[in-house]
């Protein structure tokens, strides 16, 4: 199977792909031992063309590829686009636009939550893909024809999936729904996490402002260290080590070496100095300037029962309208609605989600709508104002 390995051939191919309305795109990469994903293969396809590009070839410059990704006249079709776009953003300094993500589109069309590419191929084309090459080390050369065929299938069947989903979205007038979700993928902030925000990735188990200040400082230090050395965060220090440092707040190598989660002897390494400096900076923060520890608020009594009713309504709405429940709302959203009602700051009370689900959810908790089981199915029932009561609606007092 032919692979593009030169800039001239890539430029010619990308120029041809740029004449199409859309191009399907996928990448194969390796990141088990690096912070930044190492791009190992690029697959692209237009209506009558499918190609594989070797970005590891010595005689190739990927500028033509990045130019195509930036072409506003060509829709870039991905499946689960986030990691592919992250690679383009890191290597090319740009976000592909416009983007069509078939995983999101499938959720809009009712194929379930986070449906896989293989599942979509089978459901839409009836083809069962060969998965035997999915654990390939894509850095190896040469790649076998079987491996390359597997890789190319990630963009050839994507053409059929794109055609079916785009037609359904247009027919059901849901283009605006899809655009709202795609906007997140097209935002640079999605891929450019500032090191000072790295602590947000961690599941903080801290109770004191000073501990949180130290955690933020050491998480930012680790993030910068991992990026500069291009190694996974865990290769610098594990998350558990960051939490222990935040709680114990060592200010010198001796104190650092006494921590159970710190590898033996690591306190004398060059990297340890950077960690201790980060701890020192956090310890120097004035008390009044310390960050506030996010508090997990307990839900009012009866809220759990109301949330269960909302979950039933959400599932009912999802099935009736052919939209993945995950795309409409999550449990946290439902809890906020149960507690704050129309004042809840949640996505499902805005835009298309409000008309699809939010309005009904508010009516449910206010007693204007009830749920009933009849003839083997659950359905909503409007309640006349005079008959309304929290008990009938399954509101917070239920249970």
Both tokens of residue 213? 């200040």
Query: 355 with 327: CB under 8 angstroms?
Result: no
Both tokens of residue 292? 């506030």
> To which residue do tokens 């709405």 refer?
317
User: 182-189 — which CB contacts under 8 Å span 24+ positions?
Assistant: 182/98, 182/99, 182/100, 182/101, 182/104, 185/81, 185/82, 185/85, 185/95, 185/99, 185/101, 185/104, 186/95, 186/97, 186/98, 186/99, 187/95, 188/89, 188/95
In the chain, which residues fall in CATH 1.10.150.80? 195-289
The whole-number pLDDT of residue 207 equals 86
Residue 311 sits at φ, ψ, to 5 deg, of: -65, -40
* Distance in angstroms (rounded) separating the CA atoms of residues 309 and 263: 49
Which of 225, 234, 229, 231 shows the shortest CA–CA distance to 276?
225
Peptide bond connecting 98 to the previous residue in cis, omega within 30 degrees of 0: yes
Task: Show Cβ contacts of residue 293 under 8 Å, excluding neighbours closer than 6 positions.
Answer: 204, 206, 207, 208, 209, 211, 212
Predicted structure pTM score: 0.86
The whole-number pLDDT of residue 394 equals 44
The whole-number pLDDT of residue 24 equals 98
Cα 386 to chain centroid distance, Å, stands at 46
Task: Show Cβ contacts of residue 263 under 8 Å, excluding neighbours closer than 6 positions.
Answer: none
The whole-number pLDDT of residue 297 equals 66
* Distance in angstroms (rounded) separating the CA atoms of residues 56 and 5: 8
Query: 116 with 190: CB under 8 angstroms?
Result: no
Q: Where are the beta strands (DSSP E) in the chain?
A: 22-30, 38-46, 49-53, 75-78, 99-101, 369-374, 377-382
Which of 107, 113, 335, 320 shows the shortest CA–CA distance to 346?
335
Residue range 83-128, pLDDT digits in tens: 999 999 999 999 999 999 999 999 999 998 889 999 999 999 999 9
Domain 195-289: give its CATH code: 1.10.150.80
Query: 53 with 41: CB under 8 angstroms?
Result: yes
The whole-number pLDDT of residue 312 equals 95
The whole-number pLDDT of residue 9 equals 98
The whole-number pLDDT of residue 214 equals 97
Identify the CATH assignment for 303-393 out of 1.10.287, 1.10.8, 1.10.150, 1.20.1260: 1.10.150
Number of helices (H) and strands (E) in the chain: give both, helices first.
18, 7
* Bridge partners, 373 (sequence order): 378
The whole-number pLDDT of residue 379 equals 87
Task: Show Cβ contacts of residue 116 under 8 Å, excluding neighbours closer than 6 positions.
Answer: none
Query: 141 with 147: CB under 8 angstroms?
Result: no
Both tokens of residue 6? 């030169």
> According to the CATH classification, is domain 7-190 in 3.30.420.10?
yes
The alpha carbon torsion through 319, 321, 326, 331 (nearest 10 deg) reads: -70
Query: 127 with 156: CB under 8 angstroms?
Result: no
* Distance in angstroms (rounded) separating the CA atoms of residues 117 and 83: 14
Query: 227 with 37: CB under 8 angstroms?
Result: no
> To which residue do tokens 């979950």 refer?
311
Query: Which residues of the chain are modeled with pLDDT < 70?
Result: 296-297, 386-399
DSSP state of 358: I
End-to-end CA distance of the chain: 65
């Amino acid at each position: 199977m032919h692979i593009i390995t030169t800039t001239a051939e890539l430029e010619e191919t990308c120029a041809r792909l740029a004449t199409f309305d859309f191009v399907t795109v996928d990448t194969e990469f390796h990141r088990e031992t690096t912070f930044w994903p190492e791009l190992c293969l690029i697959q692209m396809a237009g209506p009558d063309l499918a190609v594989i590009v070797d970005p590891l070839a010595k005689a190739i410059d990927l500028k033509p590829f990045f130019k195509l990704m930036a072409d506003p006249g060509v829709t870039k079709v991905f499946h689960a686009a986030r990691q592919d776009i992250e690679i383009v953003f890191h290597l090319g300094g740009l976000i592909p636009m416009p983007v069509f993500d078939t995983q999101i589109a499938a959720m809009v069309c009712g194929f379930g939550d986070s449906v896989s590419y293989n599942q979509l191929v089978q459901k839409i084309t009836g083809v069962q893909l060969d998965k035997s090459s999915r654990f390939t080390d894509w850095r190896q050369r040469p790649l076998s024809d079987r491996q390359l065929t597997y890789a190319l299938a990630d963009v050839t069947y994507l053409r059929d999936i794109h055609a079916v989903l785009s037609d359904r979205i247009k027919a059901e007038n849901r283009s605006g729904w899809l655009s709202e979700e795609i906007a997140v993928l097209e935002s640079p902030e999605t891929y450019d996490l500032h090191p000072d925000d790295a602590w947000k990735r961690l599941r903080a188990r801290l109770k004191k402002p000073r501990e949180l200040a130290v955690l933020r400082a050491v998480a930012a230090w680790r993030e910068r260290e991992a990026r500069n050395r291009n190694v996974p965060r865990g290769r610098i220090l594990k998350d558990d080590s960051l939490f222990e440092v935040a709680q114990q707040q060592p200010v010198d190598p001796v104190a650092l070496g006494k921590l159970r989660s710190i590898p033996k002897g690591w306190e004398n390494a060059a990297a340890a100095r950077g960690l201790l400096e980060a701890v020192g900076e956090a310890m120097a923060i004035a008390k009044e300037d310390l960050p506030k520890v996010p508090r997990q608020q307990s839900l009012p009594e009866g809220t759990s029962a109301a949330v269960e009713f909302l979950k039933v309504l959400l599932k009912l709405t999802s099935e009736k309208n052919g939209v993945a429940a995950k795309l409409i709302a999550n449990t946290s959203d439902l809890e906020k609605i149960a507690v704050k009602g129309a004042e809840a700051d949640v996505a499902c009370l805005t835009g298309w989600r409000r008309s699809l689900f939010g309005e009904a959810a508010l009516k449910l908790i206010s007693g204007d709508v009830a749920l009933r089981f009849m003839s083997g199915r659950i359905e909503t029932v409007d309640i006349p104002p005079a008959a309304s009561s929290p008990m009938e609606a399954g509101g917070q007092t239920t249970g």
